[in-house]
Amino acid sequence: MQRVARRPPPDLAPARKSSLGEFGRIARFFAPLAASMPGAAGLTDDCATLQVPPGRMLVAKTDTIVDTVHLIGDEPADLVARKALRVNLSDLAAKGAVPLAYMLSLSLPTSIDDAWVELFAQGLARDQAEFGLGLIGGDSDRTPGPFVVTVAMFGTVASTTIPRRGDARAGDDIYVSGTIGDGALGLLALRGQLGDLPPAALGHLIDRYRLPQPRLKAGQTLAGTVHAAMDISDGLVGDLGHICKHSGLGASIQWENVPLSPAARQALATDPALRDTVLGGGDDYELLFTAPPDAAPRIQTVAREKDLPLTRIGAMETGHGVRVIDAQGRDVTPAVAGYAHA
């Protein structure tokens, strides 16, 4: 995920802003989120059980949100919760998985009060309903640092395999879902580093940064059609570079084919150098996949059915690395190809 500016660590004052305590918070705010999951035992036990439906295989993913690293730092708690779920759901989407359940680990500074936790749980509830999820377990601890939210997400697939980064073949078309670059531009907007744009355009970009849209339905429908698949979290060029590396191939993409939102086009009109942000910035949470050319009609059928653009942006080829070519045939590959967390 994208790095954002640091701020000082939160208040280390020992005042405990919880009248409920850990067990009270769990019972009040989190146990209702586990009501649909028999294996969660109402969050009153040490372990959860998870029944994998017959004929399906479990898919698991964990991802973490650290305040001030993955967040600007002023996000409302419900949005934090929903982002923590969605960055994981986006990975499941690329693998064609159907969401099932999740575990939640919270490390919270004492400056976080019960009202924050309540709003956080409301965000979880909202996305549980939207994505058909249940909470099955977790833990809650204090930290003298910024809050850390780790989600372990579970889904299932019908097949015994899932599309891997290394499954691309030479000659495959490369596709992305939705539009690219909005999240990275939204982060710039939140940091006051984007030029003058109409409020509606700014709002669109910021929304795209703050609330990823996991492409679950499209991913599930495409599962039998694609070769390699992943979601774009570290930037289009960087993530496509992972597919290249693990498939032992190269990739060429055409800049003019990369799908952009009207807001992103407006931003690029004010500053063409933002192209590097669009291509390399991350926080897209769109699908990135490769498929054989003869799958094109099927892919466009899925796009229509799911009301989600699926755009061919280039092709896999022998060689290695990612090249971005503009309409004039110039190599416009950004220098920073993806962002490494560590």
Of residues 6-25, those binding its own copies (CB under 8 A):
6, 9, 12, 18, 20-23, 25
What strands lie across the sheet with 287-291, from one edge to the other?
229-231, 287-291, 173-177, 310-317, 250-254, 321-325
> Is residue 169 a contact point for its own copies (CB under 8 A)?
no
Whole-number Å distance between alpha carbons of 254 and 292: 18
| Residue 36, amino acid | S
DSSP character at residue 331? B
Of residues 184-213, those binding its own copies (CB under 8 A):
none
Closest approach of its own copies to the CB of residue 301, in Å? 25
Select from 4, 31, 41, 119 the one that contacts its own copies (CB under 8 A): 41
Token pair in block for residue 245: 């590396």
Direct distance between the N- and C-terminal alpha carbons of the chain, in angstroms, rounded to an integer: 11
Closest approach of its own copies to the CB of residue 145, in Å? 1
Using the minimum distance from each CB to its own copies, give the nearer residue, 154 or 175.
154
Closest approach of its own copies to the CB of residue 48, in Å? 5
> Is residue 140 a contact point for its own copies (CB under 8 A)?
yes
DSSP character at residue 33? G
Of residues 85-124, those binding its own copies (CB under 8 A):
91-92, 94-95, 97, 103-105, 107-108
Using the minimum distance from each CB to its own copies, give the nearer residue, 13 or 269.
13
Whole-number Å distance between alpha carbons of 332 and 211: 29
> Is residue 51 a contact point for its own copies (CB under 8 A)?
yes
Whole-number Å distance between alpha carbons of 18 and 116: 10
> Is residue 49 a contact point for its own copies (CB under 8 A)?
yes
Select from 60, 79, 158, 170 the one that contacts its own copies (CB under 8 A): 60
> Is residue 290 a contact point for its own copies (CB under 8 A)?
no
The helix (run of H) or strand (run of E) holding residue 109 is: none
Site string for its own copies, 224-263 (x = CB under 8 A): ------xx----------x---x-----------------
> Is residue 142 a contact point for its own copies (CB under 8 A)?
yes
Closest approach of its own copies to the CB of residue 280, in Å? 16
CA dihedral sign, ordered 54, 134, 226, 91: negative
Angle of CA points 237, 303, 282, to nearest 5°:
25
